[in-house]
Amino acid sequence: DTGVSQDPRHKITKRGQNVTFRCDPISEHNRLYWYRQTLGQGPEFLTYFQNEAQLEKSRLLSDRFSAERPKGSFSTLEIQRTEQGDSAMYLCASSLVGGLQFFGPGTRLTVL
Amino acid sequence: DAKTTQPTSMDCAEGRAANLPCNHSTISGNEYVYWYRQIHSQGPQYIIHGLKNNETNEMASLIITEDRKSSTLILPHATLRDTAVYYCIDLGGGTSYGKLTFGQGTILTVHP
């Protein structure tokens, strides 16, 4: 257990539905990252926050995806109008600025 | 895209040393070499990192060649629990550590 938690651990949804995932970082960490991992591939960066500010977004983060970190603590990742191609493991990591990234266990999304 | 290259898979006998190579053909002077691993269905786990010198911690040793174009992660006495995907990553130094760019990694299988 790294101290980073994610909820839910598994989500099954139907195509076209909206889903929201939550990440709780290690409490003193001011950076929070989201990654996506499809089967057989390494994790791919989606976005990251420093405190409340979203500092970088990947081109993978289409307009159906939105991430927030309203109080600089937990973060949510929402996917609207899910597609089968969104099926993946969504990983969250946190760190101090300049520090190591610690990963949560991930949320596995299956879109039917 | 990942900047490092690794063999797709390797095998190792339990109790023997596992030596995992990585090529860093485009590493720049201020980039560190990081190694993470991912055990099935878990988030990536930090192992070790270094800049120029060889490093050792309780998990592994890291050997970096003088020209920094290649590195080797050494697990001195591999156990069955070391079966995982191992990723080497070049990451910029300074105070602006950002996203980790994972490749496909090396699948290490430790067998009895």
* Residue A84 per-residue DSSP state: G
CB contact under 8 A, A4 and B43: yes
Please tell me which residue of chain B has the smallest CA distance to A47: B99
Tell me the count of A-B CB pairs closer than 8 A: 56
> How far apart (Å, rounded) are the C-alpha atoms in residues B26 and B108?
25
Contact indicator for A6, A104 with CB cutoff of 8 Å? yes
Q: Is the pLDDT of residue B4 over 80?
A: yes
Maximum Cα–Cα distance across chain A:
39
**H-state helical runs in A1-112:** none
CB contact under 8 A, A103 and B101: no
Contact indicator for A34, A23 with CB cutoff of 8 Å? yes
**H-helix or E-strand containing B12?**
strand B9-13
Instruction: Compute the residue count for chain B.
Output: 112
> How far apart (Å, rounded) are the C-alpha atoms in residues A73 and B1?
30
Structure tokens at A2: 């790294």
Please tell me which residue of chain B has the smallest CA distance to A41: B104
> How far apart (Å, rounded) are the C-alpha atoms in residues B81 and A25?
26
Structure tokens at A82: 């899910």
Q: In B, which residues are within 8 Å of A41 by CB distance?
A: 104
Question: Mind listing the pLDDT tens digit for each residue in B16-54?
Answer: 999 999 999 888 888 899 999 999 989 999 999 999 989
B30 vs A: CB within 8 A: no
> How far apart (Å, rounded) are the C-alpha atoms in residues B28 and B6?
18
Instruction: Compute the residue count for chain A.
Output: 112
Question: Mind listing the pLDDT tens digit for each residue in B52-106?
Answer: 989 999 999 999 999 999 999 999 999 999 999 999 998 875 545 678 999 899 9
Q: In A, which residues are within 8 Å of B103 by CB distance?
A: 42
CA distances from B33 to A31, B64, B98, B109 (A): 21, 8, 14, 23
What is the structure's pLDDT at B95? 43
CB contact under 8 A, A2 and B42: no
Q: In A, which residues are within 8 Å of B42 by CB distance?
A: 105-106
Per-residue pLDDT of chain A (112 residues; tens, 9 = 90+): 889 999 999 999 999 999 999 999 999 999 999 999 999 999 999 999 999 999 999 998 889 999 999 988 999 999 999 999 999 999 999 999 888 999 999 999 999 9
Exposure of B98 in the CB half-sphere (CA atoms within 13 A) = 14
Q: Residue A41 is nearest to which of B43, B95, B104, comparing CB atoms?
A: B104
